[in-house]
Amino acid sequence: MQVGDLLAERYLLRQELGQSGTGIVYWAEDQDLGHSVALTATSPSILHDPLARSSFLREAQALATVRHPNIVTVFDVDEQAEFMTMEIIEGSDLAQLLKGPRRLATTWVAHLADQVAAGLDAAHASGLVHGDVSPANIVLEGENDVPVLCNFMLSESEDWAGKRLYASPEQVRDEPATRASDIYALGCVLFHCLAGQPPFTGAKASPEGDVRRFAPALPEAVQDVLARCLAKQPRDRFPTAGAAAAALRSALTPRQQPVVRERPLPPPPPPTGRTSRALLAGCVAVVLAAGITGGVAGVRSVDPAVDSDPSVATTLPAPEAELLAMLPPTVYGTACTPLERRTGDVAAVTCTSVPGMGAEKLAVYRWRDAAAMQADFQASYVNNPDYLPGQCATGNGRHSRWQRDGQIVGGLACGTNTSGFATLTWEYDDRAVQVVAMRSDSDNAALYSWWNEARRTPLN
């Protein structure tokens, strides 16, 4: 297969995106339905092995029957197992978020655990085992950073080098992965999020000990939860991923304090009795196609087709081009690309290479008028009980009006969203422009300090 080929008289290969465990991944156009898909061309090692090919086909078809918001959606599986297609997810993987190293906000980690566990339980209920739960295989989708499990993979011939950090003891011994193996790996991922590094860091699987060694403020109960996830014997781990996530949320929740409301998840599909033993394709294509542009809650991700095709980026829609011309590079950088417009927007862009050390990502919206923008500000920040006050000089601690040279410029909101991320929003009433700055931790003070310098530079 190569770029330009038409597969099954339907899928036109537009661009090679990368390599997954299954084979080469392409950005393809589904000419029957008129939308883009990620297409994985199955590797020769699977196609030339009758047992592996049969197993791959059976389990790929099983995964295609699972519909869950936290599992990548498989659309089509070739009858000869030569390729499979799946959704393109706009976002970046959790591994990108953890670079630094970085410890993540506990409220966000609890949210992550809930949703990843829901996806795992749905897969397990369908007889599937993931086999490689790791930060690189959890993509954070869209403006709410919905975790999506990708790269369902389990192969007895799989090289575990580089994956040992999240592999269960039984997998390291070359034993088949089970549901308990996925729960072990989930525990490793959660440890990494809370500690800033995985629990096992050497060539040999030697534990780093109590998570509180790296995050002393965590309750003792959190270590108890992680220790049970990481039990050497599968029988000693939590019975389900959901049970592990619920225990972690309870351990992280201070007594007599309300828990941030989360959107309820649908129940997992009924069991099918299938067992996963094949190497299933995943989201390497998705992350590459999105250009690693997602990953911060509240910022809309870039359309993957725009980011992966340079010819598209040179012909911006006129409203976005006009908005980009307003943004001084000293504040917004030069890596700005279009966003999907929201109701009331006339243009929207995201900037991902922001100068300075405060904001990691910016989303900039131009509204049809100042009144519509201010109404959104009232609903999103002033009257939103889930938007928590941040450590910023914003009058009442959450929202106010900001000034330059003694003149009021627009609204200002500083706080923490429901994912535990620090956000700061400021507006230009005269231009009907709204800017949302993000950090993937809860350090509002650092974000505000950055903005206090950035605000001195007006729009062009």
List active site positions.
Answer: 132
CB-based contact 276:154 (threshold 8 Å): yes
The stretches of 230-355 forming alpha helices (DSSP H) are: 241-252, 284-289, 304-308, 310-313, 318-326, 329-332
CB-based contact 439:300 (threshold 8 Å): no
Using the Cα atoms of residue 152, residue 226, residue 360 and residue 344 in order, give the sign of their dihedral. Answer: positive
The encoded tokens of residue 369 equal: 């008028």
CA atoms of 74 and 84, how far apart (whole Å)? 7
Neighbouring-strand partners of residue 428: 433
CA atoms within 13 A on the CB side of 107: 20
CA atoms of 207 and 166, how far apart (whole Å)? 12
Sequence-distant (6+) residues with CB within 8 A of 367 are 344, 345, 346, 373, 376, 432, 433, 434
* Chain position carrying tokens 């860091």: 201
Eight-class DSSP state of 343? T
CB-based contact 293:302 (threshold 8 Å): yes
